[in-house]
Structure 1
Amino acid sequence: MKATWEKIEKNLGVLEVEVEAERVTAALDKAFNKVVKKAIVPGFRKGKVPRPIFESRFGVESLYQDAIDILLPDVYGEAVEETGIFPVDRPEVDIEQFAKGQPFVFKAKITVKPEVKLGEYKGLEVPVVKAEVTEEELSAELARLQERHAELVVVEESAAANGDIAVIDFDGTVDGVQFEGGQAERHSLELGSNSFIPGFEEQVVGMATGDFKDVEVTFPETYHAENLAGKAAIFKVKLHEIKRKQLPELDDEFAKDVSEFETLEEYKADLKAQLESSKQEELKGARENAVVDKAAANAEVEIPSAMIDTEVETMVRDFDNRLRQQGMNMDMFLSFSGQTREDLQNQMRGDAEKRVRNNLVLEVIAKEEKIEVSAEEVEQELASMAESYKRSTEEIRNILASNGSLGSLNEEISLRKTIELLVSSSVEVEAAEVVEEAPAAEAEETKAE
C-alpha cells in the first residue's frame, strides 16, 4: 500500500492511497461469501451458488460496494498511521478506482489536529491568594449548619413569611376552566423558593392559618406546557398550616449533636480547619486554571470547528448523565428551562473552545518538555481509582480496556504532570502587579496597527 499526505490549507489536507490488487481480490472474496448467503438463483440452494454463476448473473460489480465497505476502514487506518496525521473529523472519501484485478485508489479530504506555536509558558505570573478563613465565612458555615439541623414547628398566630412552609390547597383555572396539574390538597410550599409560577408565592406571604385567597398570576411565555404559556390564571388558595424553621442554639449541645466534639469551640476549630483545607484545594485549582489559561493565550493555534463541535457534544452528553443521576433527563430539562438543544449547545460552545485550545497547548508543552508517563504511574493511578470505586485494580484495568479508555489514562496523567510543571514554574505576585498578557495573535495585530 502507498499513502501520501498533502496539506492544502491550514488544518485541511488530502490523503491519497493506493492499495494492492491482491487486497482488492481478498475483499471481493469476503464480499461474495457475505452476499451469496442471500442470493437466490433458480436451480441452486440459497448460499450454494457457484462464484462464476453468481458473477455471470449479477455481475462482479454487484460485489464492489460490500468489498469497499470491508476494505476501506482497514486501509484508511493504516494510511493515517503511515503518514502520521491526526484526523479530528470524518473524512470526505472519493473513490477513484475500484475494479477486479486493479489497485484500489481513493482520496480522502481530512481535517487534522492543528499545529500549535507555543509562546511563553514558564515563569507565568499569578496573583497571591491566601487560604484564610474569615470569621464571617465561619459564621456563615455555622448558620448553614443551623439551617440544615433546624426543626419545623407549627406557627399558630402569625402570618406566613418568606422561609416558612405553607401547607395549602389550591385549585387553578384559566378562563374559568381547570387545567391538568393545577389542583392539589395540603401541598407543602416553601415560600421564597421560587418553585411555583412567578408571583404566586409572594401573594401567599401574609396569609394566616385558615385564610382563603384568590391568587392571580400569569404563566411565563416560555412555560413548558404550551397550552398554558402566557395565559392568566386564578388559583383559589386555602392556607391550612404554617410551619417555621426553629434554629438550634449554637452551644455545646449543638456541637455534640452534629459532631464528635464535646464543646462548640472544639467544633468551630475543626470546622475552620476543614474550610481552610477546602479553600486550599479551590485555590490550587484556580492557580492551575490561571497558568493554563495564560499559557494557552500566549500560544498561536487555529482550532477546526469540528474539534469544537465534538467537544460540545461531549459536554452535552456529560450534562445529560449528570441530569440522569439527579432523576431527570435532557428532555425534561429542556422542557422546564424553555430551551432547545441548540440553545444549550451554543451556551457551551465558548467553554468547549477553551477546553480544546488548552488541551492542544498542554499536549505540545508535554512534547516540548519530554514529559513521559511511567508504568508505575499508571499502576498508581489504577490503584487510586480502584480504592475510590471499591474495586480491584485488575477490574478497573479490564473496564478501561473494554471501553477503550486505557490509553486515555496515559494522556490524563501526562496532562496533569504538564500542569504541575506550569504551576511549579509560575511566580506568585500581588494581584495589583499581575499584568494580563494579550494572546499572541492579538499582540501582533496591535503591533501592526
Structure 2
Amino acid sequence: MKSTVEQLSPTRVKINVEVPFDELKPNFDRAYRKIAQQVRIPGFRPGKAPARVLESRIGRAPVLDEVVNEVIPAKYLEAVRTGEVRTLGQPDFEVTKLEDREVLEFTAEVDVRPEITLPDLSDITVTVDDVELTDAEVDEQLDELRARFGTLKGVERPAENGDFVSIDLAATVEGEEVADAATSGLSYEIGSGQLVDGIDEAIIGATEGETKTFTTKLVAGEYAGKDAEVAVTVNTIKERELPEADDEFAQLASEFDTLEELKTDLRERLTRVKRMQQGVEARDKVMDALLERVEVPIPEKVLQAEIDNRKHDAIHPFDHDEEAFKRSLEAQGGNPEEWDNEVRTEAEKSVRTQLLLDTVADEREVSVNDAELTERIIYQAQRFGVSPDEYVQRAQQSGQLGAIFADVRRGKALASIVREATVTDGSGAAVDLDELFGTEETDEAPAESAGETEATDETATTPDK
C-alpha cells in the first residue's frame, strides 16, 4: 500500500491511498465466505460454494463491493497511523480508481488538529475578586439550615410571600383548555419562582378557597410562546415556623454544642466555597488569556458538530420541535437569530479551548492515570444521577470513554498553566490555588476542566487516533 498526505488547509487534509490487489486476497476470501452464506446454490451447502461458482452465479460486482467496503476503512486507518495524522471526526471517502485484479485507489478528506505554536505562558497575570464574607451570608446559611428543621402550620390570613400553599390550576388559550397546565392539589412555595410568571402576584393576598386569574406566556408544550388565561385556586395556606437559633438547635442540627461553634463552622465552609469560586475564576481568566495569545484555526466540520450538539441539547426538551423552542425563547424575551449567534460564539470558544489544551498537553507530556480517570467517571456519574458502572456502560456504548480521558488530560494541562500564572486578588494579595488545582507534585486535576461539555458532545475534538 502507498499513501500520501496532502494539506488542504491548516485544519483539513486529503489522504491518497493506493492498494494493489495482491494485498487483498484475505479480503476476497472473507467476502466469498460471507456471500456464500447468503446465496443458495443447488448442489452446495450454505457457505461451501467455490469462488468461481459464486461469480458465475451472481457476478463479480457484489464481491468487489464487499471487498471495497471492508478495505477502505482499514487501509485509511493504516495510512493515518503511517503518516502520523492527528485526525478529528469522520472522513469523506471517494474511490478514484478501481481496476479489477489490478489496483484500488481512494481518497479520504478529514479534519485534523492544526499545528499550534505556543508562546511562553509562564508570565500570565490575572486578577480575581477578593474573598469577602459578611455576617448576613452566614445568617442566611443558618436560616437555610433552620428551614430544614422547620414545621408547617396552617394560618387564617391571606397568603404572603414565603408561605406554602396547596393550589389548583387551569389554563386556556383563546378559549381552548390547556390539558398540560391543569393540575390539582399542587404544593407550592410562594416566591420560589418554580411556576409560571405572574402566579406569585396572583396568589399573594388571596384567602383559602379564593380563585384568582392572571395572564402569562406559556414557555413549553403545544402553546409555548402564547398568552394563556390561568385560574389559580388556593386550597390551604401554611407558614413555616423555624426553630430558635440557639445552642439547643446547634446540638440538634450538627455535631456542635453551641450556636457560636455552628456559626464558626458555617463561616469556614462558606470561605472554602468562595475560595473554590475564586479558583474557578482564576482558571477561566487564565484560559481567556491563553486564547487571546494563541491563534487556533478551527476545523469547520468539528465546529459544526459542536454547534449541532448544543442546539440538539437545547431543543431536546421540546421533543425536537424547533418552532416550539423558538416560541419559548421569544416568550422569555430571547431572539432566535441572536441565540444562533451566541451558540456559534460559544461553540467556537469551546473548540478552540480543546484544541489549544490538547497542544499544551502534548508539549508538556501530560498523562492520565487510572485513579484520575476513575475520579472523573465518579464525578460525572454523580452529575447525571447514575452509578459509575452505568455511566461507564453508557460511555462505552456511545464511544465516549476516549473523550472523558481527553477531557481529564485537558484539565491537567490547564492546571499546570494556572499554577505557573501570577494570580492576585483585588487587594493585590497572591492567591493560593492549591486547594483547587493541587500541587505539581500531586498533579491533581480540577473537578471540571475548561471547555468541558456533557457526555453527548465531548467527542467534538477527540482525535480518532
Pick the TM interval, shorter chain: 0.7 to 0.9
Q: What's the CA shift for 1:431?
A: 4.5
Describe the superposition over 1:315-373 as per-residue Cα deviations: whole angstroms up to 9, x where unpaired: 678x69xx9xxxx9673998788369x998875443332222122222323333x4343
Partner in structure 2 of residue 107 of structure 1:
107
Q: What's the CA shift for 1:407?
A: 6.0
Residue pairs, 1:211-230, within 5 angstroms: 212-220=210-218, 222-226=219-223, 230=226
Q: Distance in 2 between matches of 1:175 and 1:363?
A: 55
Q: Distance in 1 between matches of 2:347 and 2:225?
A: 33
Q: Distance in 1 between matches of 2:5 and 2:416?
A: 35
TM-score of the two chains, using structure 2 as the length reference: 0.75
Q: What's the CA shift for 1:7?
A: 0.9
Partner in structure 1 of residue 159 of structure 2:
160
Partner in structure 2 of residue 301 of structure 1:
296
2:212 is aligned with 1:204: no
Partner in structure 2 of residue 381 of structure 1:
372
Describe the superposition over 1:230-249 as per-residue Cα deviations: whole angstroms up to 9, x where unpaired: 355363x5433211122222
Could you say if the C-alpha distance between residues 418 and 198 of structure 1 is closer, same or farther in structure 2, counting changes exceeding 3 Å? closer
Aligned length: 412
Could you say if the C-alpha distance between residues 242 and 414 of structure 1 is closer, same or farther in structure 2, counting changes exceeding 3 Å? closer
CA contact (8 A) 1:167 1:188 kept: yes
Partner in structure 2 of residue 445 of structure 1:
none
Letter in 2 for 1:187: L
Q: What's the CA shift for 1:216?
A: 4.0
Q: Distance in 1 between matches of 2:195 and 2:370?
A: 51
2:328 is aligned with 1:338: yes
Q: 2:414 aligns with which of 415, 419, 442?
A: 419
Q: Distance in 2 between matches of 1:66 and 1:412?
A: 37
CA contact (8 A) 1:256 1:263 kept: yes
Partner in structure 2 of residue 436 of structure 1:
none
Q: What's the CA shift for 1:379?
A: 4.5
Give 3-state SS (helix, strand or coil) of 1:88's partner: strand
Partner in structure 1 of residue 244 of structure 2:
249
Letter in 2 for 1:297: E
Residue pairs, 1:370-409, within 5 angstroms: 370-373=364-367, 378-381=369-372
Describe the superposition over 1:203-255 as per-residue Cα deviations: whole angstroms up to 9, x where unpaired: 22212234x335143543x54123x86355363x5433211122222221221
Could you say if the C-alpha distance between residues 5 and 178 of structure 1 is closer, same or farther in structure 2, counting changes exceeding 3 Å? closer
CA contact (8 A) 2:91 2:111 kept: yes
Partner in structure 1 of residue 265 of structure 2:
270
Q: 1:366 aligns with which of 361, 380, 383?
A: 361
Letter in 2 for 1:371: E
Q: What's the CA shift for 1:144?
A: 2.6
Partner in structure 2 of residue 80 of structure 1:
80
Give 3-state SS (helix, strand or coil) of 1:262's partner: coil
Describe the superposition over 1:375-417 as per-residue Cα deviations: whole angstroms up to 9, x where unpaired: xx61543675799899xxxx99x97996777766764554344
CA contact (8 A) 1:371 1:418 kept: no
CA contact (8 A) 2:171 2:230 kept: yes
Q: What's the CA shift for 1:260?
A: 0.9
Partner in structure 2 of residue 233 of structure 1:
229
Give 3-state SS (helix, strand or coil) of 1:14's partner: strand
Could you say if the C-alpha distance between residues 33 and 346 of structure 1 is closer, same or farther in structure 2, counting changes exceeding 3 Å? farther
Q: What's the CA shift for 1:129?
A: 4.2
Q: What's the CA shift for 1:68?
A: 1.0
Give 3-state SS (helix, strand or coil) of 1:36's partner: helix
Q: Distance in 1 between matches of 2:421 and 2:59?
A: 69
Letter in 2 for 1:134: T
Q: What's the CA shift for 1:34?
A: 1.0
CA contact (8 A) 1:97 1:106 kept: yes
CA contact (8 A) 1:85 1:112 kept: yes
2:10 is aligned with 1:10: yes
Q: What's the CA shift for 1:294?
A: 0.8
Give 3-state SS (helix, strand or coil) of 2:319's partner: helix
Letter in 2 for 1:267: L
Letter in 1 for 2:104: F
Could you say if the C-alpha distance between residues 53 and 171 of structure 1 is closer, same or farther in structure 2, counting changes exceeding 3 Å? closer
Partner in structure 2 of residue 447 of structure 1:
none
CA contact (8 A) 1:124 1:291 kept: yes
Describe the superposition over 1:89-128 as per-residue Cα deviations: whole angstroms up to 9, x where unpaired: 3222111223432122111222211221223421111115
Give 3-state SS (helix, strand or coil) of 2:87's partner: coil
Could you say if the C-alpha distance between residues 177 and 357 of structure 1 is closer, same or farther in structure 2, counting changes exceeding 3 Å? closer
Letter in 2 for 1:309: Q
Q: Distance in 2 between matches of 1:401 and 1:170?
A: 41
2:123 is aligned with 1:123: yes
- When the two chains are superposed, the root-mean-square deviation of aligned CA atoms in Å is 3.9
2:57 is aligned with 1:60: no
Letter in 2 for 1:245: R
Q: Distance in 1 between matches of 2:308 and 2:80?
A: 24
Give 3-state SS (helix, strand or coil) of 1:266's partner: helix
Give the percent of matched residue pairs that are identical in Structure 1 and Structure 2.
Answer: 28
Describe the superposition over 1:31-63 as per-residue Cα deviations: whole angstroms up to 9, x where unpaired: 121112222445555544332122123221221
TM-score of the two chains, using structure 1 as the length reference: 0.77
Q: What's the CA shift for 1:15?
A: 0.8
Q: What's the CA shift for 1:75?
A: 0.5
Tell me which moved more, 419-428 or 304-313: 304-313
Q: What's the CA shift for 1:202?
A: 1.8
Letter in 2 for 1:350: T
Give 3-state SS (helix, strand or coil) of 2:38's partner: coil
Larger radius of gyration: 1
Q: Distance in 2 between matches of 1:229 and 1:408?
A: 37
